[in-house]
Amino acid sequence: MPTPDKLPVSLVVIAQDEEDHIGDCLRSADFCAEAVVLDGGSRDRTREIAAALGARVETRPFDDFVTQKGAAVDLARHDWVLCLDADERVSPELAAEIRDLFAAGEPPCDGYSMPRLSWHLGRWIRGGGWYPDRKLRLFRRSRGRWAGRNPHDKVVCDGAVGRLRGDLLHHPYRDLAHHLRKMDRYTELAAATLLAEGRGLATLRMFVVPPLAFLRSYLLRRGFRDGRAGLVLAALEARYEFLRYRHLRRLRRASRRDSTMRA
**Cβ neighbours of residue 245 closer than 8 Å, sequence gap 6 or more:** 191, 201, 205, 206, 209
**Cβ neighbours of residue 165 closer than 8 Å, sequence gap 6 or more:** 93, 97, 114, 115
* Same domain, yes or no: 108 and 182: no
Residue 250 lies in a domain: yes
Query: How much is the pLDDT for 202?
Result: 63
* Same domain, yes or no: 37 and 127: yes
Residue 39 lies in a domain: yes
* Same domain, yes or no: 236 and 130: no
**Residue range 135-150, pLDDT digits in tens:** 999 999 999 999 988 7
Query: How much is the pLDDT for 126?
Result: 97
* Same domain, yes or no: 137 and 228: no
E-strand ranges in 18-143 read: 32-39, 56-59, 80-85, 88-90, 111-114, 116-120, 123-125, 135-140
**Res. 36 pLDDT band, cuts 50 70 90:** very high
Alpha carbon dihedral 160, 75, 33, 51, in 10-degree steps, equals -140
Instruction: Decide if pLDDT at 1 tops 60.
Output: no
* Same domain, yes or no: 206 and 152: no
Helix (H) and strand (E) counts in the chain: 7, 13
In angstroms, the CA 189 to CA 44 distance is: 24
* Same domain, yes or no: 189 and 67: no
* Same domain, yes or no: 91 and 186: no
Residue type, 201: L
Domain range enclosing 226 = 176-257
**Residue range 41-84, pLDDT digits in tens:** 999 999 999 999 999 999 999 999 999 999 999 999 999 999 99
Beta bridge partners of 169: 89, 117
**Res. 205 pLDDT band, cuts 50 70 90:** confident
